[in-house]
Amino acid sequence: MIHHTEGVPAGTELFDRAFRTWRPDAVVFDCDGLLMDTEPCWTVAETAIFARRGLPFGPEQKALVIGKSVADAGAAMATAFGETGNAANLAEELYSLVVEIVGSTAEAMTGAHAIVDLAARAVPVAVASNSPRRLLDVALARGGFTDAFAVSVAADEVTSPKPAPDLYLVACERLGVLPDRALAFEDSITGLRSARAAAVPVIGVPTLAHQELPADVVVSSLTDPGLNEWIKGWLGESP
């Protein structure tokens, strides 16, 4: 794992060190927290659900649910609340709140459109999200990504969502590439485990600033100069 942090001189050296001469044949992007700044929307919804039960919601509670599918988040909350057997209802409560909030307030992450457009000039691109289809479509539409991806895969379209490999395996199959020839962009440990399980190399852009994300390369944002130069190199545009 190689970190590229703010304040480090721009350049492709870290990417070249991690990937050597390897270049992907396709790129698969996560959505929540990676392309779309939806984590604040989830946090608002999660905070409300915890508050309804008289409980606080802070970093420790956020770590229980971040990156998880709606169903898995419902299960995690059921455990936290001691509400055995209520996971499905909690998942539905969370889902309804998040769809409403994302559709009215979510924004694209800084640099997301530029990085998707840049990558798409070189290779096919897809989105693989741990959100159900309805929420994924709402998020992509809100962010202006509706026409950006010929391939998109949602959590309710596979047998097992992240951290299982299914989402990445299906995305790669639809793109017509082998998993080890694709490159994933992920912001959470759940997503990273999914990509790893599918044998897809990973660029990490952590949502949680202090979370260790053992990706091949970790950058602080999609605007990282070295990342953008490295992708331009796929097009032969890097000096």
* CA 215 remoteness from chain centre: 13
pLDDT, position 237: 65
Average pLDDT over residues 202-218: 87
Domain range annotation of the chain: 2-37+108-234, 39-105
Please report the pLDDT score of residue 6 as a whole number. Answer: 44
Q: Which residue type sits at 63?
A: A
147-154: long-range contacts at Cβ-Cβ below 8 A with a sequence spacing of 24 or more?
148/113, 148/116, 148/117, 148/120, 149/29, 149/116, 149/125, 150/124, 150/125, 150/126, 151/124, 151/125, 151/126, 151/127, 151/175, 152/126, 152/127, 152/128, 153/126, 153/127, 153/128, 153/129, 154/129
The predicted pLDDT at position 195 comes to 98
Q: What is the pLDDT of residue 142?
A: 97
The third-level CATH classification (topology) of the domain covering 2-37+108-234 is Rossmann fold (3.40.50)
Where residue 12 falls among pLDDT bands split at 50, 70, 90?
confident
- Residue 87: band (very low, low, confident or very high) from pLDDT cuts 50, 70, 90: very high
For the beta carbon of residue 238, count every other beta carbon within 10 angstroms: 13
Q: What is the DSSP string of 151-174?
A: EEE-GGGSSS-TTSSHHHHHHHHH
pTM of the model: 0.86
Question: Which pLDDT score is estimated for 223?
Answer: 96
Contact 208, 218 (CB under 8 A): no
**What is the per-residue pLDDT across 119-178, written as a single tens digit (0 to 9) for each?**
999 999 999 999 999 999 999 999 999 999 989 999 999 999 999 999 999 999 999 999
Q: Work out the percent of the chain whose per-residue pLDDT is above 70.
A: 94
Contact 137, 51 (CB under 8 A): no
Once rounded to an integer, what is the mean pLDDT over residues 16-24? 93
